[in-house]
Amino acid sequence: MKFCANCGSAVTRRVPPGDSVPRAVCDACGSIHYVNPKLVVGSIPQWESKLLLCRRAIEPRYGYWTLPAGFMENSETAGEAAARETLEEAGAKVDITEAFSMVSVPYVNQVHLFFRARLLALDFAPGVESLEVALFDESEIPWKDIAFRTVGMTLRHWFADRARGAFGFHAEDLR
């Protein structure tokens, strides 16, 4: 059973009038509780020929490598979210430059968004959600130990774009 966040009464799950999707509806106070996909936003921090990755200290995918990323918060822009997550997870200060990749992941109700970023200094250090943080040349990327498919896709696009000398924007879906 679920409850209304506004009045504490039990809610029922049904399609409200004029809607097409079942929602948690409160008959006591009339509230309709919408649940929508979340944005996971991160950066691709570059230092010369290398990219920065974090090894995860939390589940899911404990011990695997990822780009710094996390849930976008209210009251921030997507670029601010990317910079904040990079600082929190990698202790790394970056300039966010361009939006680079966007992947819809409908089976977890998420959209993943990555920005290109310029790493500003080498004083990075793992935050509480990371075991270690390191810079990798393309030949050193731990492809078999990447935490999430969206991160692997983004890294492959990044190296391919760098090889052709032009960075684009890459929108895709994962199923």
72 binds its own copies (CB under 8 A): yes
Among 47, 57, 91, 99, indicate the residue that binds its own copies (CB under 8 A): 99
String of b and e for 5-31 (b: at least 16 CB within 10 Å)? eeeeeebeeeeeeeeeeebbbbeeeeb
Q: Which two tokens stand for residue 20?
A: 């097409």
Place of tokens 């200094």: 121
169 binds its own copies (CB under 8 A): yes
Taking CB under 8 A as the rule, which mask of x and - marks residues 40-69 in contact with its own copies? Answer: ------------------------------
Check: CB of residue 113 under 8 Å from CB of residue 101. Answer: yes
Pick from 85, 143, 140: nearest CA to 117: 85
80 binds its own copies (CB under 8 A): yes
Choose between 110 and 136: whose C-beta lies nearer to its own copies. 110
* Site residues, its own copies (CB under 8 A): 2-11, 18, 20-21, 24, 33-39, 71-80, 88, 98-99, 102, 104, 106-107, 109, 111, 128, 168-169, 171, 173
